[in-house]
Chain A
Amino acid sequence: MDTVVDILLLAFLAICAISILRLRDLFAMTMMFGLFSLISAGLFTTMDAPDVAFTEAAVGAGISTILILATLAQTSRREQATPARSKLVPLAVVWVTGAVLIYGTADLPAFGDPEAPVHNHVGPHYIQESGKEIGIPNVVASVLASYRGYDTLGEVVVVFAAVVGVMSLLGLRRRPPGLRPARGKPDPNDVLKVIATMVVPVILLFALYVQFHGEYSPGGGFQAGVIFAAAIILYALVFGLDKARQVIPPKVLNRLPAVGVLIYGGVGVVTLLLGGNFLEYYALAEDAKTAQHMGILFIEIGVGVTVASVMLLIYFIFSERGRGKRPDEENSDGDGDGDGDGEGAVSRDAGGTA
């Protein structure tokens, strides 16, 4: 039964990938990417990896889809046609690379092979001893937050570096020069507002549950941060960017990514000062398991703060840029949202593929 499900999901993945290649409408492509991530999440679930599935669904299908859509709102909906070139060389490169990769997989141990090196290195130790050494039921959380604390710190710094990059490219200004706010109010959307007021608090509560229950069930700082950011982004989509900006003032939000990394690194420094190694939580308290609990709790808070604020910041920066129009664009595209273009593009596409 599992095999049938696996084969179906993998077939869907392949269909998704091929349709992404063939599509020219970037909007539809974004949706297919989201679907791809969701199917991957399903595959991870069938492989009993709910933590990974959770991350894939929250980050891949959720936040990154929203970020790509926010980007599309500022650029074009259509992929630009690439000039026709000889396809022989790229085809040869792809075939050779593919052949090498397939040849390489022949040496890999079979899927689920108990003799595979990955199952005989540190894996058994984590699975058998983490209950005694760390004392939390979720082995994934104890590996990520405690055994592999350095790696997770690296990941948090990568997320932090991403937002530093986005900020230095797109700027911290509320609106780039030359852009002025788009005219016309969006029509009031009472249904969305009522539902969003009901749903957003629940999502925030769920984010807190994922954050603080991550030691006992799938979840942790990364997933919680993304869910938290998703709630605020939903609020921003329904009630407008300015209202959402009032929830978390920019002054605070701009500093939060660094605060999260500082919390994480700070735990490491504290353990150093208390006489342990960097991120060796045993120094935090007398009882070994309490110490591990405290350390994991603190660094997960750091992870959550950084991830949530980074996602929010990137979304805010993207959508604030997209809100305005340059004066010279105003003349060519009068009504301001370019719907007429979409229709034409659709029919052109139909003509091209038929």
Chain B
Amino acid sequence: MPLLIDLLSWALILVGGAFGVIGGIGLLRLPEFFSRIHAASITDSMCAPCIIAGLMLQSGLTLVTVKLAFLVVFLFLTSPTASHALAKAALHGGMDPGRTRRLDGEAEG
């Protein structure tokens, strides 16, 4: 049983880590602002909860697990909101999601 829990928690942590790397690659490689927000929000909504779930399995039924559960809830509420606010601010600031406008100011159109 402890082996199963260990395996499961390591699987979750590795999956979370993989999502973190994917989000990082997306943040660097995707062409324009809004798709980059999408990449960054993967880190928020998949990477962090997966890693925290893995840690919860490691810590067992303790106060630490309760605190980690609070963290997951907080992240689930705030991270997508932050992405939303970012996208909305960019839209408000005149960025056009329809056109692929490069962030570095080249290649308009």
Q: Give chain A's interface residues, CB within 8 Å of chain B.
A: 187, 189, 191-192, 195, 198-199, 202, 337, 339-340, 342-343, 346-347, 349-350
Contact = CB atoms under 8 A, between A and B. Distances in A.
Contacts of B77: 195, 198-199
B41 to A, nearest CB: 14
Contacts of B29: none
Contacts of B104: 346, 350
B94 interface: yes
Contact of B105 (A195, A339, A349): A349
A202 B71 CA distance: 12
Contact of B93 (A189, A198, A202, A342): A342
A340 B106 contact: no
Interface residues of B, number: 14
A189 B88 contact: yes
A187 B85 contact: no
Contact of A343 (B81, B85, B105): B105
A184 B77 CA distance: 29
Interface of B: 74, 77-78, 81, 84-85, 88, 92-94, 103-106
Given A339-B94, A342-B93, A191 B105 contact: no
Nearest to A342: B93
B105 A192 contact: no
B105 A346 contact: yes
A303 to B, nearest CB: 24
A346 B106 CA distance: 10
B94 A199 contact: no
Contacts of A342: 93
Contacts of B78: 195, 199
Q: Across chains A and B, which 8 residue pairs bring their CB atoms closest together, nearest first?
A: A347-B105, A195-B81, A346-B105, A339-B93, A350-B105, A339-B94, A350-B104, A191-B84
Nearest to B104: A350
A280 B103 CA distance: 60
A199 B104 CA distance: 35
Contacts of A187: 92
12 contacts: A187-B92, A189-B88, A192-B85, A195-B77, A195-B78, A337-B93, A339-B93, A340-B94, A346-B103, A346-B105, A347-B105, A350-B105
A348 to B, nearest CB: 8
Contacts of B74: 199, 202
B92 A192 contact: no
Contacts of A199: 74, 77-78
A199 B85 CA distance: 15
A350 B106 CA distance: 8
